Amino acid sequence: MSYCIYCGSQVTEEDRFCANCGSQQHINRLQQEDQVQKQPDQKRHYSLQLLIFLLALIGIGIATYFLYFYDSPDGHYASVDADEAISESEVIPIESTLNVPDDFLTIQEALDNAHSGATIVVRTGTYYENIDFKGKEVILKSTDPTNPEVVKNTVIDGNNNGSVVSFLNGEGNVTRLDGFTIRGGSGTELSFIVSYLGERQTYNRVYGGGVIISGNSSPQITNNVIENNLVRTARRGVFGVGAGIAVLDHSNPLIENNTIKSNYAEGYAGGIAVWYHSSPQLINNTIELNSAEDIAGGVFVAMECSPTIKGNYISNNSSHSSGGIYIAHRSSGFISDNTIYANSSNIGAGILVWSTGDVDIADNHIELNEAEHYGGGLFVGNESSVAVTGNTFKDNRANDNGAAIWVAKGSHLNLMSPDSNSYSNNTPDNIVYYTTSGPSRLPWP
């Protein structure tokens, strides 16, 4: 059925003119059919244009995200300011290796510009800086950390202006200090409020001449020479602690294959201080020729710590009390396979254990240590409990008694039965159990 396009009257296919209005029908009908055919094509055309427009908007959005807001964790892109329109070929890469002094003149500048996962390589030379890792998970290394000549000639000198290297912001075990000579440090004064035996106490000290590690930090300290650093008493009651390295406040670093020597503390710990709920691993280090005015020429451990001290050479360290290792105040520890040699002090020249339990001393060579009074090799005092197995006590000396081991009243020495330790040429005796009041209390750490 067809209708006139002008008046709407019914017409047949054969009618050339409308019977009602007289208008010509054939040409108009063809035009009408052509218009009807064009309408779907026009609709498809408009739909295609809309689709292209929407895809263009999506593409612009994705490009804007990558150029201005995306900072890739794997180092492919770096974010830029929004007013800097750059093409994809101009995206700035995040370098995984930074070089000092080629890329940055100072080590601290390189640390400040490094992203997590980066490695900073430092060429030989002396860098007068006090550096802070600021929580960065990066590796800082010399050009060849296992080459003694490279380590000797890649020096970070603190110029007596504070700790040479600081880890104070929760650095993890990916962070590493590897292959430097670290000297000229004078420590960082910090204040801690801690809980011990149900009491809150405040400690103000100058900590960590060479390296300070605090605040739940656990970096790796490897293949370094840490020498000629000191921590002085700043004023009355503010002692120097940990001239070489101070590990403080819930920190658990790995300290391995270092030489820590000729450091001095006007307080405690010429070599390494471990303090307050810290559990470092001290593995295969040489700790020698360090001294402290009061306690622990070599290694000082106090306040509920639990270190592993294994495979170290601890030699020729000196202090008033405890030359080699001091472990005290509810700390535990595993002390094994060390050579503890030629250390000196008034009491406990080799090892002094004080007011603590669960200390395991096994398979060490404890030789040629000299105490002015008691405990040339080992002093156990103030209600301590120590397991001592498989050690060699040789050529130790105590001018009063207990040349190999001196045990105070109320303390316990746990030996295997039969005794698995060996004793030779200790002067004037081997083991003495002291049953009277014993010496006066040691200074509080």
Three-class DSSP labels, the chain: CEECCCCCCEECCCCCECCCCCCECHHHHHHHHHHHHHHHHHHHHHHHHHHHHHHHHHHHHHHHHHHHCCCCCCCCCCCCCCCCCCCHHHCCCCCCEEEECCCCCCHHHHHHHCCCCCEEEECCEEEECCEECCCCCCEEEECCCCCHHHHHCEEEECCCCCCCEEECCCCCCCCEEECCEEECCCCEEEEEEEEECCEEEEEEEEECCCEEECCCCCCEEECCEEECCEECCCECCEEEECCCEEEECCCCCEEECCEEECCEECEECCCEEEECCCCCEEECCEEECCEECCECCCEEEECCCCCEEECCEEECCECCECCCEEEECCCCEEEECCEEECCEEEECCCEEEECCCCEEEECCEEECCEEEEECCCEEEECCCEEEEECCEEECCEECCECCCEEECCCCEEECCCCCCCEEECCECCCEEECCCCCCCCCCCC
Residue 64 shares a structural domain with residue 130? no
Q: Are 372 and 401 in contact (CB under 8 A)?
A: no
Residue 241 shares a structural domain with residue 296? yes
CA neighbor of 370 nearest in space, from 432, 425, 427, 326: 427
Residue 53 has pLDDT above 70, yes or no: no
Look at 34-43, 68-77, 149-158 and tell me which has the smallest mean pLDDT: 68-77
Residue 41 has pLDDT above 90, yes or no: no
Confidence of residue 308 (pLDDT cuts 50, 70, 90): very high
Boundary of a domain, candidates 78, 94, 110: 94
Look-up: residue for tokens 């014993």?
438
Residue 34 shares a structural domain with residue 112? no
Q: What is the pLDDT of residues 130-186, one digit of tens each?
A: 999 999 999 999 999 999 999 999 999 999 999 999 999 999 999 999 999 999 999
Residue 279 has pLDDT above 70, yes or no: yes
Over residues 182-192, mean pLDDT: 96
Boundary of a domain, candidates 94, 125, 148: 94
Provide the pairing of β-strand 2-3 with 10-11: antiparallel
Q: What is the pLDDT of residues 202-216, one digit of tens each?
A: 989 999 999 999 999
CA neighbor of 377 nearest in space, from 345, 412, 355: 345
Confidence of residue 101 (pLDDT cuts 50, 70, 90): very high
Q: What is the pLDDT of residues 311-344, one digit of tens each?
A: 999 999 999 999 999 999 999 999 999 999 999 9
d(CA 242, CA 272): 5
For residues 32 and 303, which has the higher predicted lDDT (pLDDT)?
Answer: 303
Over residues 386-408, mean pLDDT: 96
Residue 65 shares a structural domain with residue 101? no
CATH code at position 159:
2.160.20
Residue 88 shares a structural domain with residue 107? no
Supply φ then ψ for residue 210, to 5 degrees.
Answer: -80, -55
pLDDT at 80 (0 to 100): 34
Most confident of 29-38, 70-79, 218-227: 218-227
d(CA 165, CA 213): 9
Counting residues of the chain whose pLDDT is more than 90, the rounded percentage is 70
Cβ neighbours of 303 (radius 10 Å): 21
CB-based contacts of 106, cutoff 8 Å, min separation 6: 100, 127, 129
Number of structural domains (the chain) is: 2
For 22, the domain range is: 1-94
pLDDT at 58 (0 to 100): 67
Over residues 111-139, mean pLDDT: 97
Residue 111 has pLDDT above 90, yes or no: yes
CA neighbor of 130 nearest in space, from 206, 248, 211, 205: 211
∠ CA 354-252-143, nearest 5°, is: 125
- For residue 359, tell me if it sits in a domain: yes
d(CA 434, CA 410): 9
- For residue 439, tell me if it sits in a domain: no
pLDDT at 32 (0 to 100): 44
pLDDT at 20 (0 to 100): 59
Residue 40 shares a structural domain with residue 139? no
Over residues 90-102, mean pLDDT: 72
- For residue 441, tell me if it sits in a domain: no
Residue 255 shares a structural domain with residue 288? yes
CA neighbor of 63 nearest in space, from 23, 91, 22, 93: 91
Residue 85 has pLDDT above 80, yes or no: no
Residue 22 shares a structural domain with residue 89? yes
∠ CA 147-153-154, nearest 5°, is: 90
Structure tokens at 35: 């218009």
- For residue 1, tell me if it sits in a domain: yes
Q: What is the pLDDT of residues 220-255, one digit of tens each?
A: 999 999 999 999 988 888 999 999 999 999 999 999
- For residue 442, tell me if it sits in a domain: no
Counting residues of the chain whose pLDDT is more than 70, the rounded percentage is 76
- For residue 367, tell me if it sits in a domain: yes
Residue 435 has pLDDT above 90, yes or no: no
Average pLDDT, the chain: 85
CA neighbor of 191 nearest in space, from 251, 264, 248: 248
- For residue 438, tell me if it sits in a domain: no
- For residue 443, tell me if it sits in a domain: no
Residue 22 has pLDDT above 60, yes or no: no
Residue 380 shares a structural domain with residue 334? yes
pLDDT at 417 (0 to 100): 87
Look at 108-122, 128-142, 366-380, 401-415 and tell me which has the smallest mean pLDDT: 401-415
Residue 116 shares a structural domain with residue 87? no
CA neighbor of 94 nearest in space, from 103, 83, 102: 103
d(CA 228, CA 207): 15
pLDDT at 171 (0 to 100): 98
Over residues 262-280, mean pLDDT: 97
Residue 64 shares a structural domain with residue 189? no
Confidence of residue 3 (pLDDT cuts 50, 70, 90): low
CA neighbor of 429 nearest in space, from 411, 407, 402: 402
Look at 110-114, 160-164, 355-359 and tell me which has the smallest mean pLDDT: 355-359
Boundary of a domain, candidates 94, 117, 150: 94
Confidence of residue 57 (pLDDT cuts 50, 70, 90): low
Residue 82 shares a structural domain with residue 150? no
Confidence of residue 357 (pLDDT cuts 50, 70, 90): confident
